[in-house]
């Protein structure tokens, strides 16, 4: 083994978490290698790809807001369709930009380039096949060409089925109520048509959610506008009820979604230009750190339960892992105990991660318990976004009230108080965002 094959930090996977981590460790002066199996980053991933700006309130993440975006999203429209009626909610939750829609094949390539510019070495078209462990410490990886690369700290950013986390014994098999099988299609409509069909009353752009019989299983089918295509996604939790007599394949949920009269009109004149399939795991992994190894992003289970937001948690945990690695290397202590406490502290201090994880979890629990009909009825009166926060508080509150459990009621109150700062961030962050775009957005 040559000197060239020794690194301070190796990061596996150039999705969301990987380039963020590699850029940061390179900036912190560490010799960094970023390995990606695809020749072009972003072409192994399927996502809805709306970055929630609420998850980007961390100065370490501001550079991401200068990346190549497709559209600025200002509002949400939700269609609740049942046999009796269709209810449409228009929600403009803040004055400014709510989400940024991106295309991963474009965005991840840009992000990987940022890591490279910061000084990280990048190896594309390189698949990690196994980890190297010595004396109970993870200390490197083996690639498909049989080459070995060694490091002080390994950062796993290889996504939901990461071979790194699996071979380290941290990522188990998962299905049932915490694994979603998602199918997507991208429909080309042209920029002008999308401007017209996906704008809102205030002249911004709008993402849409749909709830109707036969188009999903316990998820929220959506249409997200990009520049000249829109992406549709649907699917469901991988339980035995995902399939039934009528639905034997997630593609059939998609076909039914495409067949909704409202959706047909929205997509009139368009054509499907690409199809995709991906799993999404929405529960935390119990152990995210091992001697010499840190799991980030979806490999670590950092997706907001049920709401399915995983990009900003991946960016954030990539940064946290990088900082943890840098500190561990400085102290020359890569043990699980030492790295785990640094990493967990940073995660616990992140308001977005904590707040949204909580909101997502309670909504998920409450929704998985209900039948499709009950959900449809409930959602006719609960508005998405702010409504999810309300539902989280409300569900806990009711649980306490019904069982005479004052602690639950107190928990609801505590959470309400806890979430307030997030609700107030709005306008000042809009200014920061505007400034960053003016400085050099593409």
Partner 1 sequence: MEFEMKIDYYSGDPGEFIKVIEEKCTGCGQCAKFCTRDVWEADGKIYRPINLKDCVECGACWNICTADAIIFGDPKGGTGVRFTHG
Ligand X SMILES: Cc1cc2nc3c(=O)[nH]c(=O)nc-3n(C[C@H](O)[C@H](O)[C@H](O)COP(=O)(O)OP(=O)(O)OC[C@H]3O[C@@H](n4cnc5c(N)ncnc54)[C@H](O)[C@@H]3O)c2cc1C
Which residues are at the interface with partner 1 (CB under 8 A)?
A: 37-40, 42-47, 49, 103-105, 124-129, 143-145, 160-161, 163, 173-175, 179, 181, 183, 185-187, 226, 229, 231, 238, 242-243, 248-251, 254-255, 258, 264, 267, 270-279
**Other C-beta atoms lying within 10 Å of the C-beta of residue 165:** 28
Q: What is the three-class DSSP state of 275?
A: strand
To the nearest whole angstrom, how small is the minimum distance from the Cβ of residue 157 to ligand X? 5
Instruction: Output 266 or 323, the one with its CB closest to partner 1.
Output: 266
Stretch that binds ligand X, among 86-94, 298-306, 373-381, 412-420 (CB under 6 A): 298-306
Query: Between 12 and 412, whose beta carbon lies closer to ligand X?
Result: 12
Using CB atoms within 10 A of its CB, is residue 152 exposed (0-12), middle (13-18) or buried (19+)?
A: buried
User: Which residues are CB-neighbours of 244 under 8 A, at least 6 positions away?
Assistant: none
Which conformational region is residue 151 in: left (phi greater than 0), alpha (psi within -120 to 50 degrees), or beta? beta
In the stretch 299-328, what mask flags binding to ligand X with x, by CB under 6 A?
Answer: x---x----xxxxx-x--------------
Smallest gap from Cβ 184 to partner 1, in A, equals 8
Tell whether residue 282 is a contact of ligand X (CB under 6 A).
no
Q: How many residues of this chain interact with ligand X, rule: CB under 6 A?
A: 42
The burial class, CB within 10 Å (0-12 / 13-18 / 19+), for 424 is exposed
C-alpha 135/C-alpha 193 separation (Å) is 60
Query: What SS3 class is residue 394?
Result: helix
CB-based contact 275:184 (threshold 8 Å): yes
151 binds, among partner 1, ligand X, none (CB under 5 to 8 A by kind): none
Report what 251 binds from ligand X, partner 1, none; CB cut-off 5-8 Å by kind.
Answer: partner 1
Which of partner 1, ligand X, none sits in contact with 231, Cβ below 5 to 8 A by type?
Answer: partner 1
Per-residue x/- marks for ligand X, 25-44, CB under 6 A?
----------xxxx--x--x
Tell me which of ligand X, partner 1, none is bound by residue 303, counting a contact when its beta carbon lies within the kind-specific cut-off of 5 to 8 angstroms.
ligand X
**CA–CA distance, 325 with 209 (Å, rounded to integer):** 39
- Residues of the chain by 3-state class (helix, strand, coil), percent to 5: 45, 25, 30
Helix axes 386-403, 351-368, angle to 10 degrees: 60
221 to 240, contacts with ligand X by CB under 6 A? Answer: 233
Q: Minimum distance between the CB of residue 33 and ligand X, rounded to whole angstroms?
A: 11
Measured at the CA of 346, the angle between CA 345 and CA 347, to 5 degrees, comes to: 90
Task: Report the C-alpha gap between 199 and 212 in whole angstroms.
Answer: 22
Residue ranges binding ligand X (CB under 6 A): 12-18, 35-38, 41, 44-51, 127-128, 157-159, 162-163, 182, 184, 233, 278, 280, 297-299, 303, 308-312, 314
């Amino acid at each position: 083994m040559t000197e060239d094959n020794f690194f301070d930090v190796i990061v596996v996977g150039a999705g969301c978490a990987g380039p963020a981590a590699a850029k940061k460790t390179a900036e912190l002066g560490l010799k960094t290698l970023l390995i990606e199996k695809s020749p072009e980053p972003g072409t192994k991933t399927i996502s809805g790809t709306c970055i929630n700006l609420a998850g980007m309130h961390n100065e370490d993440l501001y550079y991401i807001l200068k990346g190549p975006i497709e559209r600025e999203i200002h509002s949400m429209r939700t269609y609740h369709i049942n046999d009796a009626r269709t209810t449409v909610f228009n929600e403009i939750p803040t004055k400014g930009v709510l989400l940024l829609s991106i295309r991963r094949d474009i965005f991840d390539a840009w992000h990987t380039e940022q890591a490279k510019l910061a000084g990280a070495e990048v190896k594309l078209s390189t698949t990690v096949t196994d980890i190297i462990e010595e004396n109970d410490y993870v200390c490197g990886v083996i690639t498909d060409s049989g080459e070995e690369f060694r490091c002080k700290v390994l950062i796993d950013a290889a996504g939901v089925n990461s071979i790194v986390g699996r071979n380290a014994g941290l990522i188990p098999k998962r299905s049932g109520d915490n694994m979603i099988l998602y199918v997507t299609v991208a429909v080309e409509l042209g920029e002008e048509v999308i401007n017209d069909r996906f704008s809102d009353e205030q002249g911004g752009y709008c993402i849409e959610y749909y709830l109707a019989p036969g188009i999903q299983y316990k998820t929220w089918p959506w249409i997200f506008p990009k520049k000249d295509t829109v992406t549709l996604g649907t699917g469901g939790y991988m339980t035995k009820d995902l399939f039934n007599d009528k639905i034997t394949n997630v593609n059939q949920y998609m076909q039914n979604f495409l067949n909704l009269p409202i959706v047909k009109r929205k997509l009139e004149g368009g054509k499907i230009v690409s199809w995709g399939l991906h799993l999404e795991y929405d529960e935390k992994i119990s152990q995210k750190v091992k001697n010499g190894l840190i799991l980030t992003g979806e490999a670590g289970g950092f997706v907001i339960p049920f709401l399915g937001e995983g990009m900003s948690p991946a960016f954030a945990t990539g940064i946290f892992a990088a900082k943890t690695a840098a500190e561990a290397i400085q102290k020359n202590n890569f043990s699980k105990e030492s790295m785990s406490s640094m990493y967990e502290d940073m995660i616990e201090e992140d308001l977005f991660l904590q707040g949204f994880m909580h909101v997502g979890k309670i909504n998920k629990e409450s929704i998985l318990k209900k039948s499709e009909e009950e959900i449809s009825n409930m959602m006719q009166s609960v508005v998405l976004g702010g409504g999810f926060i309300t539902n989280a508080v409300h569900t806990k509150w009711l649980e306490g009230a019904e069982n005479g459990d004052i602690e639950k009621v107190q928990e609801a109150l505590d959470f309400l108080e806890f979430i307030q700062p997030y609700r107030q961030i709005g306008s000042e962050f809009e200014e920061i965002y505007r400034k960053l775009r003016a400085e050099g957005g593409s």
